[in-house]
Structure 1
Amino acid sequence: MIPVALPSIESLLLLFASMGAGVCLLIWLLRLLLSRRARSRFAARPVLGVVLMLVLALAASFYLSFQYQVWQIDREFARRDAARRVTLAQAQTLGGVLMPAGARLTLAKEGELETFTEALFDPPAPAFGLRVSRIERYLHTDYDSKTYEELRRYPHTIHLWGEGPQQVEGWLCDTSQKLRLRVEDEGTRPEFAECVLAGGNAIEGGVGRWPAGTELLRMGGGVVYTDGHREPVNWMVRVRDPLGLPLAGLTLGRPTVQLDENRQLLAVSDAELACPLTLGEMRYPAGTQVKTAGYPLRQRFPSQSWVFSPVAPGQATRAGQSQPVNDGTSVVQTPDGAVLGVLSNEEAGVLRFARIIVNETDPQEPPVHCP
């Protein structure tokens, strides 16, 4: 956190008093200019009038000095801002990218091209295996712990924009939307981290394709729990399309899906049934919350088990039983329908988050619908 010195009350009062003195002096000079009577009164006591004017002028000088310094600072900021905007006259390599002539750069530090935070290309240029029209870099700065002198700057996050769908590590990403790369440390190669999928990405081991607009995240080191357990998750896919998606035998709305390195399904979370479902002896209404049995629930049940959690006012019913399964309770079932257990949401690891309403506007997304 950078400490900021706030002005004292005394300095603010002095500034307002100085401004008031300047206003009084201006009004007095205007009256002398426009009123013969005021000039006659001034001429009757010229020494006193001159002394009072000098006192007001001296008092107003503090405010004028303050405004002059503000003007100088604004002018210097404008000069620096203009100096940090550079158009390359000839092609050169910066930040590992061959910048073509005419590239427009915004620099973090005046005069140092390697500190560019934004680069614009027209037409798109090759960079990081893609054709991009814009690069945005977020720089990390290291300082000397004793002198606080700047030692070096290097990017820790890179955002790219291009034109239309492009292949990235076997995925078809929509580069008209932001694509993110991460840099683990200075000098290391940027790695793909996140993009928005274009249409045409097949679901491995399933039917259909991931909808356009789906968010794709690369999980560098997998998912690590607080007790040290690690899940071998390589990819996380967040579906935003409200149309139900056929996945692992169910039709799910807006699922978050974890995939391994071969893009095979590992887990599903934060999904809901897009269509009513009958599975074994259980019947669930549309809108029922769904996930796979995650860690540590898999220590009690098979890893491919489903966890169904009705959401009020919906209820799940069980064949041969009159008592429904209500909100707050979850049912664990195998993919073939065998009921393995009926647990509280807390036991099943099902979380419900409060919805925050701002300005009386409910941020709830439109409901999913059955295809």
Structure 2
Amino acid sequence: MIPVALPGGNFYPMLAVSLVCLATLLTWIAVLCTNRLARTRLRARPRSNAAAMLALAVIGGIYPARLALRWVDSRQAAADQAAHTVVLDGPRTLTGIDMPAGTRLMVRLPGRPDTFEAARFPHPVPVGGIPVASLERYLAQSGLREFRATGASATLPEDETAEGWRCTRGHKVEFKADGDGALRFSSCHLAAGNKMNGQLLPAGTWVALRHGPRPATDFQHVDGWLLRTDGSEPSMVAGMPLLKADLRLDRGRKLVWFEGSLGTEYTLGPMTYPAGTRVATASATVAGARPGDLVFSPSRGRSAGRNDGDDVPSGQSVLQAPDGAVRGVMSNRAAGVLDVASIGTTP
């Protein structure tokens, strides 16, 4: 959000009073120029009339002075913008991007096209292998008059494919800069039609490429893709209807970890979980957990039904195998679950 300085509460009333005083003064002068009787009355009380005219002139001068300042400021802003605007008169390669003639650049330093912060292209230009209509770079100072890009965002002319994902033109595509300054795809919001394990992903899902080692006990930091679904309609993940789900995929796009909130009531084995129950892939640090196991945690004020035993209240978590076998019931702390209010919907 861009901060905007708003004028004080008395700013506009002051301008209105100034305009009234200015109009009164000009009307008075016009009457004096055309009416002899008015001039006679003015000479009869010269000091008081002169003081009144001076007061009207001082207060009435605020309005034209404000207009003059605004005009000067706009001229200065236009001059600054012109000094920081470069339009390429021929094809040129800047920071590894092939730009056509007619590209409009907003530069950090006048006369230095390589310090551009924003670029608008006359036709789509590939950046990181993705055609974009405009580009905005995030610059960090690396020297006295030197800058380097730490990342960038771009607008798409239409839905485009990036790293196998179909990105929507309705949101900006994000890039990160490599060590050599080259921009690489980082994240975008998905268009309709993307799939994961044969299941359609909802339009608007955010996808980001994450780099890093894969700890044996923490699938949340796997090297690969992070997906976050949004919206009021649940998405099917591992056969479960989830709201606001976080998904971790490896480089081969195999689901290795997920977390979300059940969008509807869900039954697995002897357990029946209400909407809003948190469900996640069990960490290897959870006692008794095996690969592929799930942890279900009822939300506050809710409980999970069990047809072969006591219900499981909030504050407790259930460790279950994918086939429904209950491996154990434990506290949320033991399951590595924070006690937070439900983010799901209630029936």
CA contact (8 A) 1:253 1:274 kept: no
Query: Is it true that 1:263 corresponds to 2:284 in the alignment?
Result: no
Aligned equivalent of 2:210? 219
Aligned-residue offset at 1:89: 2.4
Q: Compute the TM-score of the two structures, normalised by the length of structure 1.
A: 0.71
- 2: CA distance, partners of 1:114 / 1:192: 21
Aligned equivalent of 1:107? 107
Aligned counterparts, 1:91-130, within 5 A: 91-130=91-130
Question: What SS class does the counterpart of residue 39 from structure 1 fall into?
Answer: helix
Q: Deviations over 1:238-291 (max 9, x none)?
A: 1236244142x5454442111223322221112425452122x32324443211
Aligned-residue offset at 1:312: 5.7
Aligned equivalent of 2:329? 342
Aligned-residue offset at 1:97: 1.2
Q: Which sits farther off after the overlay, 60-69 or 176-185?
A: 60-69
Q: Report sequence identity in percent.
A: 31
Aligned equivalent of 2:311? 324
Q: 2:188 aligns with which of 189, 195, 216?
A: 195
Q: 1:58 to 1:282 in 2, by over 3 A?
A: closer
Aligned counterparts, 1:59-208, within 5 A: 68-142=68-142, 150-175=144-169, 177-183=171-177, 187-203=180-196, 206-208=197-199
Unaligned runs of 5+ in 1: 1-11, 144-149, 356-363
Number of residue pairs aligned between Structure 1 and Structure 2: 335
Aligned-residue offset at 1:302: 3.1
Question: What SS class does the counterpart of residue 111 from structure 2 fall into?
Answer: coil
Amino acid at match of 2:262: E
Q: 1:273 to 1:68 in 2, by over 3 A?
A: closer
CA contact (8 A) 2:276 2:345 kept: no
- 1: CA distance, partners of 2:344 / 2:105: 38
CA contact (8 A) 1:103 1:120 kept: yes
- 2: CA distance, partners of 1:22 / 1:334: 78
Unaligned runs of 5+ in 2: 1-9
Aligned equivalent of 1:31? 28
Q: Compute the TM-score of the two structures, normalised by the length of structure 2.
A: 0.75
Q: 1:42 to 1:106 in 2, by over 3 A?
A: same
- 2: CA distance, partners of 1:24 / 1:253: 62
- 1: CA distance, partners of 2:330 / 2:258: 19
Q: How much is the aligned-residue C-alpha RMSD, in angstroms? A: 4.3
- 1: CA distance, partners of 2:201 / 2:219: 29
Question: What SS class does the counterpart of residue 30 from structure 1 fall into?
Answer: helix
